[in-house]
A and B are shown apart, each in its own frame.
Chain A
Amino acid sequence: KNQVEQSPQSLIILEGKNCTLQCNYTVSPFSNLRWYKQDTGRGPVSLTIMTFSENTKSNGRYTATLDADTKQSSLHITASQLSDSASYICVVSPLKGGGNKLTFGTGTQLKVEL
């Protein structure tokens, strides 16, 4: 069964600090891996996308890494801001199957405090 596990479940950091969120998956073969940000009361919004051949992808202060051999991905947030407080969801698309075969993680709830 395809699974995506994320850690930690929740995290509290001070504004300006860096943090790293983890994602382990069993989906194989896969087409791509995305990190979504979901603000409270909003739908998820895509931050980064990586195919199996990519190792890293940046979007401003967000940097995602991928190790396809160990089936692990991480999302690193640099110089955190209060607006980074949200849930971060790792989503893996299989190589076949279309949009109905996405596997979602449960998310990491990040809170950035003053």
Chain B
Amino acid sequence: ETGVTQTPRHLVMGMTNKKSLKCEQHLGHNAMYWYKQSAKKPLELMFVYNFKEQTENNSVPSRFSPECPNSSHLFLHLHTLQPEDSALYLCASSHPGTGNEQYFGPGTRLTVT
């Protein structure tokens, strides 16, 4: 396991539910990321936070709402999702800047029914 943890590891939710994914890093990084990983597709960057400030929203639908209360924690709030949102959601952290290694959490496997 890396220094990035994610909970829950698995989540099944209906289209009308509201749930949240949690990510925590113990590496002293100041940049945190949410990615979506679908089968046979490259990782898709969703959101980027640097020093708790959102610096990137990669045209993500508003049914996904991120929150970064501090540099160690990152949340992804979910509501009224669609079946096509089913995927592995990965959190990562790094030191800010170009080329720095991103450390990934184990991911949350989300299934929307």
**Chain A residues proximal to chain B, CB less than 8 Å:** 4, 9, 31-32, 34, 41-46, 49, 89, 93-107
Contact = CB atoms under 8 A, between A and B. Distances in A.
B100 interface: yes
Nearest to A31: B99
A41 B105 CA distance: 10
25 contacts: A31-B99, A32-B99, A34-B101, A41-B9, A41-B106, A41-B109, A43-B105, A43-B107, A44-B90, A45-B104, A49-B101, A89-B43, A93-B98, A98-B97, A99-B33, A99-B48, A99-B94, A99-B100, A100-B45, A100-B55, A100-B56, A100-B58, A103-B42, A106-B40, A106-B42
B74 interface: no
B107 A97 contact: no
A41 B1 CA distance: 12
Contact of A96 (B4, B98, B105): B98
Interface residues of B, number: 30
A101 B98 CA distance: 8
Interface of B is mostly: loop
Interface in B46-82: 48, 50, 55-56, 58
Nearest to B99: A31
Interface of B: 2, 4, 9, 31, 33, 40-43, 45, 48, 50, 55-56, 58, 90, 92, 94, 96-102, 104-107, 109
B32 to A, nearest CB: 10
A80 B102 CA distance: 26
B106 A42 contact: yes
A4 B43 CA distance: 12
Contacts of B41: 106
A10 B4 CA distance: 28
Given A102-B102, A106-B41, A107-B42, 11 more contacts: A41-B9, A41-B107, A41-B109, A42-B107, A43-B2, A43-B105, A46-B101, A95-B98, A98-B48, A98-B50, A99-B31
